[in-house]
Structures are given as structure tokens and as C-alpha cells.
Amino acid sequence: MNPPLMRDPHMRSPNTLSGAATACLALFALLLMATPAAAQDGKTLYAQKTCNTCHGPNGDQPLAPNYPKLKGQNADYMIAQLKAFKSGERKGALAPIMAPMSMTVSDQESEKIAKWLATGK
């Protein structure tokens, strides 16, 4: 017969969280609740969808010379191009990169991003 397991009296039970862990969970919950509201502006969406990786933090400093500057472009044009990448209608050298990226952006999100890039608002 095995001896009973001795439990360290200083150890918390697995069902008890420390104050720091509770605070972290609370902060995480707040961030989750705040995400939809924060995602309402185009600038935030631009970063969340990682557009800034190739087009620069404000859409005016592309990573490569053949990547377009987006800042100041016409919003309707940008929306149409994203839709064309998404549908496969737009072909070309950047299509293999942009087609999968465009799939992560909803129509509503692309409108907000395009408006921000076109107007700064």
C-alpha cells in the first residue's frame, strides 16, 4: 500500500488563483471586451490586419519599391482593389501576397481602413 501523499501547506490548491493571476485574467477580459470598440477605427484595423507590415505604419512608406503607397489614395479605388484581390479578379505580381491578406478583411473593415488612408479620419 502506498503512503498518503503529503501536501505542502504553503501550496495553493489548483482551484485558487493568486491576486496577480486574477488581475491578469481581469485585464485580459477587459481587453477582449474592448477589442470590438477599438477595432471601429481604420487606423487600428490597419495595424490589426498587418497592412503596416508591407505598406508602412501610415500607408506612406512601403517595404518594397513595387508596393504601393496607400495614404492619400481614393477610398473607393482601394476598396475595389481589395475586392478584386479577394475574388481573384486582380492578377499580377502582388496577387499571391494580397489575395490571402484580403481574405482576412471584411467589407466593413476595408471601408474603414480605406477611409482612414484616404482622409486620415
Place of cell 470590438: 36
Exposure of 66 by Cβ count < 10 A (0-12 exposed, 13-18 middle, 19+ buried)? exposed
Give CA–CA dist 4/82, Å, rounded.
65
How do the domains of the chain map onto residue ranges? 39-119
Q: What stretches of the chain show up as alpha helix (H) in DSSP?
A: 19-38, 42-48, 51-55, 75-87, 95-102, 107-119
CATH superfamily for 39-119 is Cytochrome c-like domain (1.10.760.10)
pLDDT, tens only, 71-118: 999 999 999 999 999 999 999 999 999 999 999 999 999 999 999 999
pTM of the model: 0.67
